Structure 1
Amino acid sequence: MKFEDSQYVESVHYKIEMPFGNFYLLDKFFISELNEGVHFDWEMIKNIMEEVVDFYGENTKIGYISNRVNSYSMDPQNWIAVQNKYNMFVAGAIIYYNNMTFMNSSLEKKFASISVKRCLSLEEAIGWILGLKELN
Structure 2
Amino acid sequence: MNSNEKHIETFDFGVAELHRDYILMVMNEGITVDFEINRQLCEYAANYYKNRQFGYITHRKNSYSVDPYVYKETSKLKGLVAFAIVSDKHIRRETAILEKIFLNKPLRTFKELNTAIAWVQSHTNSN
TM-score when normalising by structure 1: 0.83
Q: Deviations over 1:17-69 (max 9, x none)?
A: 01110011001111110011100111111112222222111x32211101000
Gapped runs of 5+ residues in structure 2?
Answer: none
Pick one of 60, 71, 78 that aligns with 2:70.
78
Tell me the amino acid that sits aligned with residue 93 of structure 2: F
Question: By how many angstroms is 1:100 displaced?
Answer: 2.4
- Does structure 1 conserve the Cα–Cα contact (< 8 Å) formed by 2:93 and 2:110? no
Residue 105 of structure 1 aligns with which residue? 96
Tell me the amino acid that sits aligned with residue 26 of structure 2: E
TM-score when normalising by structure 2: 0.88
CA RMSD between the two structures:
1.8
- Does structure 2 conserve the Cα–Cα contact (< 8 Å) formed by 1:16 and 1:24? yes
In structure 2, the CA distance between the partners of 1:21 and 1:12, relative to structure 1 (3 Å rule), is farther
Residue 30 of structure 1 aligns with which residue? 23
Q: Counterparts of 1:87-106 in structure 2 under 5 Å?
A: 87-106=78-97
In structure 2, the CA distance between the partners of 1:135 and 1:35, relative to structure 1 (3 Å rule), is same
Tell me the amino acid that sits aligned with residue 102 of structure 1: R
Determine what percentage of the aligned residue pairs are the same residue. 27
Q: Deviations over 1:109-132 (max 9, x none)?
A: 122111111111111101111222
Tell me the amino acid that sits aligned with residue 117 of structure 1: R
In structure 2, the CA distance between the partners of 1:36 and 1:133, relative to structure 1 (3 Å rule), is closer
- Does structure 1 conserve the Cα–Cα contact (< 8 Å) formed by 2:23 and 2:57? yes
1 or 2, which has the higher helix percentage?
1
In structure 2, the CA distance between the partners of 1:133 and 1:45, relative to structure 1 (3 Å rule), is closer
Tell me the amino acid that sits aligned with residue 57 of structure 2: I
In structure 2, the CA distance between the partners of 1:32 and 1:81, relative to structure 1 (3 Å rule), is same
Count, aligned residues: 125
